[in-house]
Structure 1
């Protein structure tokens, strides 16, 4: 980016600056001996062209909408269209969640993001013994197509984009969504949205898995194949670094482990006989936004560039859309404090700026009270308004990649890409992401990073405002959203009524066909869809797959 003579001149001047500054520190020392990013990486006092002197603009930075996509996946980014403001919501019954979705749409949300309760996430109906006390607590309870019909009542599915945070039973919930759309008169080829469908990170960081890795990967590739033909606008997976970061990883680990999972999914799909360019354009990613604004911006840029290279060089992708890393962002839940929760509004604003200046395609902003409970309508509105203020008042959307070219940002982008690639190579050496997970490598790396971070917080080397410093006496929080325990009883009554009114012979026939398909090699999605249409429940469908595939038991000794 600079000729050798100019670089040498800058380096000489920098050396003079450095020597003069070091002398002044004897009288006015800096606040700390060393400064670190949110991930614990040391930060230089100053960055100059010398820190990016090996950067080839065309090769490493380029232009938005072009390989290697460092500056964004669209040629005009937010000058053309803003990111999708997709608020994550769902609690109690389908009726209550439907009301919340309509409220969010009225307030300007452009996309829905469904949170499911724990029994739904692990494939149990609300009347299962293991569901007791958990129904509707951390998301909405969905037991059958009847619940899904209520959830989206009055919401035209050809007009909204819907994201569903569901993994092990993703095929069943997607089938329910398709069936609801059919009842609205909307064909599958008109549906837009995303299912998370990322089982590998469940084994690593979250825990809502059901089946062992091999059948889980089969279900995922079945979805890839089915949607490429019948639901072409649907993003078939959201490969998630969010939960990896929430578990305690660094920024570079979030990128490295997430892209390693992405590599495993691409390899599985190719092994299943799919052409890379037939499914790769519909892959999407899901990243976290933490408080270190500059590190986070560099993280997103590094992830885009690295994935573009992987798809082009490793998998021979030809379609530019196969190389463009599209991602959703959620602000960091683990960064929120129960102490002085109003401070969380500021944290979320910083994280929103990071996601937007990093080029996200959609964004959910957490509410101030989420360290304490599910968010109230008032706090959700403030979270949504945070996005709208950044979009329309901050000015950061008026130019593309506004921090691009910063010596620090470019140096940090290079550093995160390099470290992430080192993790990917290590995982390759271990036999790929599934093997690395089985051996406990990824889990151990995350736990070590989480321990280091927590130790710094407890030693007050890392300041968390309102928690370990700047504390005040506070009253117990008021007006928190609480889910009534009666929700479980209501769902059990709904299920009993459903089973008494549906055609149970048809349900059994469809479940028998699904069982046969699971035992064979054909794509199971059409069979799941037929079972859903006959009002077979989530638990019944997952029960058949549990019977054939078995259940995964964590065996790694950590």
Structure 2
């Protein structure tokens, strides 16, 4: 009777544990490696890190691996195993599904639908005019109002967006960068109108302008005044909104632009270093603002590499803050992050396959210790999510949290020879990039020199070439294709949204105190010219119903616009 493969593995493992057959194993590995090389069967992670057929204790001992120095317990320096001691045993990660389209009232209805379905945090997408500091009636806004997110022109829209949602009780994330300060102030004004105290207002503004120059493109002003807006928000929130996360330093969009996991990690941390340096240069104490810094990472398909990336990120950030900036507060050393599954991995072909991709990606984020998570809907390669697809995406998280056993212990993959070796490899490769960027003068200089952009473009080209050649398998695209996909119900955006928003803007401008608006916009301009904190006069102008476009135009008149 032929012996089963599992029985052969059991016998081989037993021999190795007993100290027998090690030479045979090493010789076999060598022969297999040579054969694999001849057959072109070398295995690499998506970042190009070689993957061995099997990992053993010596893969760590050869590096001088030390538990206390490289891992430590969960919740303890260097936080490789997580920033909290029990991680998800106390409560699972925040399930923060991304939503935003059309008018504020339409998005408000989607927020309530997701909350009723069990979502535990809000995450807001804004349309392109809002991101670029243009009102909905601006000529450049034609065709874009409400399309990729919600349109917000004034305080009235923000009131509608959170109508019936108690902002003293809910945490809200806002994916906004160039106009982050404006949206935060509108949010805080609505919260105050609801009676929320400043210390009750919690959430995150993305506010990561460097990655806009690097990977995404929704910038308004040149880098220097943009960095000033960021540090002004750090100072404002330290004084006025102590529980608000002032920035979510984003690797997500860097990865979506085509970077590898290593590049995502390295470029994100380099940008974070630049923000901390700018804040310190502006006179802020590092332990005053660093505890409110947060991060935003991508969850892609290579499950173990993604887990290694998150674990390396925590260890690297703890070292950066302690050794480079002299931070002493534990909260300054702890890297907290939100994760979103990879939009760029979604396929229009056989779209329901995306449910499986998203599940694998979400699992990597959970095993890697994320603090909050968004799972993409399976139809997002075709349109904005329907209620059905958004519910399936949320249920994916809920099943992982409730049925998968992944919340029972902190960092369940710790001690895996493969995971620990891969974490070391990812970290070493990321440090190499950071050293190169430091040699160029830091992130801002490296972006201006297009160093990071060039690295991302090369990685994206290599990835696409692998897909087109079939070397990288994408199920349903270049392997296991089908002739036709079933028709699906897709979400559509009302084309009359711009007309509705334009009419509302007309009513706002006719009903408000125009003299008060002009007076406060003039004060904002003066602050921009004099170097004062911009958020205080900005808030006064917004409270008088100045529009987002008017605030942005006031700053444009002083700072100018960035042209690559």
Q: TM-score range by the shorter chain?
A: over 0.9
**Where does residue 237 of structure 1 map in the other structure?**
247
**Where does residue 348 of structure 1 map in the other structure?**
358
Equivalent of residue 515 in structure 2, options 502, 505, 509: 505
**Where does residue 438 of structure 1 map in the other structure?**
448
Deviation of 1:20 (Å): 3.3
Deviation of 1:177 (Å): 0.3
**1:70–1:301 CA contact under 8 A, matched in 2:** yes
Matched, 1:423 2:433: yes
Deviation of 1:229 (Å): 1.1
**Where does residue 47 of structure 1 map in the other structure?**
55
Deviation of 1:535 (Å): 0.6
- Cα RMSD over matched residues? 1.8
The whole-number CA distance in structure 2 between the counterparts of 1:355 and 1:436 is: 29
Deviation of 1:357 (Å): 0.3
For 1:52-85, what per-residue CA distance to the aligned partner results, in whole angstroms no more than 9, with x for missing partners?
A: 1111110001011111000000011001121100
> Is the alpha carbon distance of 1:11 and 1:95 closer, same or farther for their aligned partners in structure 2, counting shifts above 3 Å?
farther
SS at match of 2:97: strand
> Is the alpha carbon distance of 1:50 and 1:517 closer, same or farther for their aligned partners in structure 2, counting shifts above 3 Å?
same
Structure 2 unpaired stretches of 5+: 1-15
**Where does residue 392 of structure 2 map in the other structure?**
382
**2:297–2:338 CA contact under 8 A, matched in 1:** yes
Matched, 1:259 2:269: yes
For 1:429-448, what per-residue CA distance to the aligned partner results, in whole angstroms no more than 9, with x for missing partners?
A: 00000000000000000111
> Is the alpha carbon distance of 1:16 and 1:233 closer, same or farther for their aligned partners in structure 2, counting shifts above 3 Å?
same
Equivalent of residue 27 in structure 2, options 19, 27, 47: 19
**Where does residue 315 of structure 1 map in the other structure?**
325
> Is the alpha carbon distance of 1:25 and 1:430 closer, same or farther for their aligned partners in structure 2, counting shifts above 3 Å?
closer
The whole-number CA distance in structure 2 between the counterparts of 1:521 and 1:162 is: 30
**Where does residue 83 of structure 1 map in the other structure?**
93
Runs of 4+ aligned structure 1 residues displaced above 6 Å come to 8-12, 24-31
Deviation of 1:188 (Å): 2.0
Deviation of 1:38 (Å): 2.5
SS at match of 2:203: strand
For 1:372-405, what per-residue CA distance to the aligned partner results, in whole angstroms no more than 9, with x for missing partners?
A: 1000000000000000000010001101100011
**Where does residue 238 of structure 2 map in the other structure?**
228
**1:11–1:50 CA contact under 8 A, matched in 2:** no
Deviation of 1:10 (Å): 9.8
Deviation of 1:15 (Å): 4.1
Matched, 1:151 2:146: no
**1:101–1:112 CA contact under 8 A, matched in 2:** yes
Deviation of 1:479 (Å): 1.4
Deviation of 1:477 (Å): 3.8
For 1:85-114, what per-residue CA distance to the aligned partner results, in whole angstroms no more than 9, with x for missing partners?
A: 000000000010000000010000010000
Structure 1 unpaired stretches of 5+: 1-7
**Where does residue 197 of structure 2 map in the other structure?**
187
Deviation of 1:37 (Å): 1.4
TM-score when normalising by structure 2: 0.95
> Is the alpha carbon distance of 1:284 and 1:14 closer, same or farther for their aligned partners in structure 2, counting shifts above 3 Å?
farther
Matched, 1:391 2:411: no
**Where does residue 208 of structure 1 map in the other structure?**
218
Aligned pairs for 1:295-306 within 5 A = 295-306=305-316
**Where does residue 413 of structure 2 map in the other structure?**
403
> Is the alpha carbon distance of 1:21 and 1:266 closer, same or farther for their aligned partners in structure 2, counting shifts above 3 Å?
closer
SS at match of 1:458: helix
SS at match of 2:96: strand
